[in-house]
Amino acid sequence: MDDQIWYLRTSKLALALAIIRSTPADTSSREYTEHLAKVVSEQESTWRSKVQALEAEVLQLRHKLLLSRMHAGVFKSGDPSSQLQAQEPGSSENTLSLLEDSGCDLSNEQRSEPSEMTQHLVESCTSTPFLPLPIVKRHCATQENPLSSHMQFLQHLLELKNLTESGSLKTDLSHFENDFSTVSDSVFQLLDGLITFYRKPKFPFSSFWAEAVNTLARLISDCNLSNHILKKCSKKLEEFEKTLLQVILRSNHINRFQVQHYVSQSLVTLGSCSLLRKSIISLLLSEVNSFSDVLGTIDQVQAGYVTQYENIFSLFWVLEQLLQKETKEGNTSSVGHDDQEIKKFLQKHDETIFQLSDAFPLFTFYLWRLGILLNSVETVESNSRP
């Protein structure tokens, strides 16, 4: 340890002497040192950008490799053209549509005509042992939106898995699970981009962001992919959920309700995945419980709480949507009454309504509706037990 300190001090002294000796005559040592630091910083920034670009290129190559291997696995047995023709008459058109879709067609760009796609598939089937990757270049894959490449890959992956899980193309892709780290890496970067956007959302919203949230929910709903994604991205998912919540609660501009509706819909879409629903419901109920406690200490909505009072009703809407979905699906394992926030809400439900009903009738009306939905979930859970 002493040797390391000595070498460090010696190196610093040698660097200082070198700077002093090389300082131009018309420049002070301080100014020259600041100039050198600026040059090194600019070089570091340049190299960092190059490294990030190379990392992105490597990840895209991993995308293509994984999709190529999976595609080869789907069509390796028999003639792919005969497999496609063996499907039901209506499903062949769906298959062509899935293969044609780049997974990034989020605006009104031109699309290939079905006849051209059919001809392309026939030619491909006669020349290769498996269909080429369904990658069609779109104008959306631009430098302005670097996330589009991740969206394209993830949507291709989902459509390819859909093909393998139904019809004559049914294939076991479980042996590709060792390569699913590529999927987790893309999801991580997609989440990063979503968090950055939603922290400062710009209205009107591009449909890209809604499609990204929907793709995210579909990926985590997939039993083969969810474990890999949650293992790496669970913290990022929590951060994303909290970011959406804060956008709703902290918005205070005049036209905020359009933004809140869009963000609320994103939370509902995310909660369509049963694996994420419990954490979202618990997070929203935590805010409702906390605000109920605040309202219990005042007689009317004070100036400092007006915005938060108005915004809380967006959370009520999201909670109702998710609880109705939970009751409809009968999947009560994801929302259990062992959750602390649900317990707290139900334990204080009647008392809170009685205490706040005179001063805040609309708020207590929504509390009453939530109580009914949570009890409905509990009833379904009880009936489903053996």
Predicted confidence (pLDDT) per residue in 70-100, tens digit: 777 665 544 444 444 444 434 334 443 434 4
User: Does residue 68 fall inside a structural domain?
Assistant: no
- Tell me whether residue 20 is in a domain: no
Look at residue 303 in the predicted model and tell me its pLDDT. Answer: 66
Q: Provide, for the chain, the percentages of residues in helix, strand and coil under a 3-state DSSP scheme, each rounded to the nearest 5.
A: 75, 0, 25
**Is 355 inside any structural domain?**
yes
Would 116 be classed as within a structural domain? no
Token pair for residue 256? Answer: 């905020």
Q: Which helix (H) or strand (E) holds 350?
A: helix 349-356
User: First vs last Cα of the chain: how many Å apart?
Assistant: 65
Checking if the pLDDT of 377 tops 50, the result is yes
- Summarised one tens digit per residue, pLDDT across range 127-137 is 333 344 444 34
- Any idea which of 43-47, 132-136, 277-281 has the lowest mean pLDDT? 132-136
Contact 233, 277 (CB under 8 A): no
**Residue 178: predicted pLDDT:** 65
pLDDT of residue 259: 85
The whole-angstrom separation of Cα 239 and Cα 255 is 25
Of 380, 241, 233, the residue nearest 315 (C-alpha): 241
Query: How far, in Å, CA of 339 to CA of 363, rounded?
Result: 23
Domain that holds residue 315: 178-329+338-378
Provide the pLDDT for residue 314.
94
* pTM (whole model) above 0.75: no
Where residue 206 falls among pLDDT bands split at 50, 70, 90? confident
User: Is residue 28 domain-resident?
Assistant: no
pLDDT at position 369 over 90: yes
What span, in angstroms and rounded, lies between the C-alpha atoms of 280 and 232?
Answer: 19
Residue 245, domain member (yes or no): yes
Higher pLDDT, 365 or 202: 365
For residue 203, which phi and psi values (nearest 5 degrees)?
-100, 140
Residue 95 lies in a domain: no
The answer to whether the beta carbons of residues 274 and 334 sit under 8 Å apart is yes
In a domain, 12, yes or no: no
> 203 or 257: which carries more pLDDT confidence?
257
Indicate the Cα dihedral angle 254, 258, 261, 263, nearest 10°: -90
User: Quick one: residue 281, left, alpha or beta (phi over 0 = left, psi -120 to 50 = alpha)?
Assistant: alpha
The total of structural domains in the chain comes to 1
